[in-house]
Amino acid sequence: MVIGKHRPSRIVVDQTAIYQNIANEKARLTDKTELFMVVKANAYGHGLLQVAATALRAGATGFCVAILDEALALREAGFNQPILVLGITEPQYAALLAVNHISATVGSLTWLKTAQGFLENEHVTTPLAVHLGLDTGMGRIGFQTSTQLAAAVAYLQTAEQFTFEGIFTHFSKADSADTEYFEQQLKKWRVFMAVVPDRPKYVHVSNTATSLWHDACNGNLIRFGVGGYGLNPSGVELEPPFVLHPAMRLESRAVFVKALKAGQSVSYGATYTAQEDEWVATVPIGYADGYRRQLQGFHVLVDGQYCEIIGRICMDQLMIRLPHEYPVGTLVTLVGEDHGQTISLQEIADYCGTIHYEIACGFSERLPRFYQN
């Protein structure tokens, strides 16, 4: 996608905030527990390579991604730390994983057998590191029974094409005050682990939520995701054990300012009609940038004042009602702080009826990312 370098709409990422979030979490871990920074989905919209570099400075020892291409992008940029692909990679790419020293998530014995065939056919001499994923209740990927798991573990003991590097699960309700389902998953995890007599290098169950509120379960590796970006995985239900510093700011500027007369309408469908004379600014950002159409009626910040978004949000522009005339070029804050007032990703998510993860990841690459320390 073309990056919008010649307009004022942009995302500003506070690298110090990311550093501090990771450092604060690292301070809670034992010396034997590693932290892999989750940088999937362009680092939750914050920028893959820049966040990866900041995470290393803060003490991360590896990375988690969702797809192979994200891992390859890290390798091509010169990152040589451990990388785990959390999603299932098709077995025909086993050689590509192996030669780039990228660890694969495996959820079935069939995958191992198929991947072994590809490794043999391509004469790959580097063993492929695998992490066995266990479905304890997430219902997404992973081994379903202890019998299936035991068969895979036995297979790995004799298949020289693989290194049994890790085993893990993912908790679906670790961010809830109601811990009943979490405890059910934890019980299933222990049943699974009873058939793994020789533990691999990495044993891990903790995403951000688990590491924040169930740190006794951490194992020797945590997958630190949304917390690293300063976002609370529970929304507002649970308080984290330390202050999370949001790293993302979204800002633009007024590119057109006009006096709107009473009775005049704004944007597609004429869904907004001025009841009295008012000042309106046009801001060059829209739903093609990931600023969602549902945000009509929400607000932005101008000079520390909340200004309503009026009329339908367009693909590339939106309009706001100003308290009085402001000059073209005036700063418009869509996410972040301005003169002591703040708009958070959580507020936007609440307005849209979703979660802040989706909002952050939804900002398109058309918005340039700028980084500040």
Euclidean distance between CA atoms 106 and 148, whole angstroms:
12
Active site residue 268: yes
HSE-CB of 141 using CA atoms within 13 angstroms: 18
Euclidean distance between CA atoms 38 and 62, whole angstroms:
9
Active site residue 201: no
Which residues are documented as binding site for substrate?
140, 315
Which residues are documented as binding site?
140, 315
Residues 6 or more apart from 62 whose CB is under 8 A from it?
34, 36, 37, 81, 82, 83, 84
Of 19, 32, 40, 93, the catalytic one is 40
Nearest to 292 by CA among 347, 254, 342: 347
Instruction: For helices 180-193 and 146-158, give the axis angle rounded to 10 degrees.
Output: 40
Q: Dmax over Cα atoms in the chain, in whole Å? A: 79
Euclidean distance between CA atoms 45 and 10, whole angstroms:
12
Of 113, 187, 261, 268, the catalytic one is 268
The catalytic residues are 40, 268
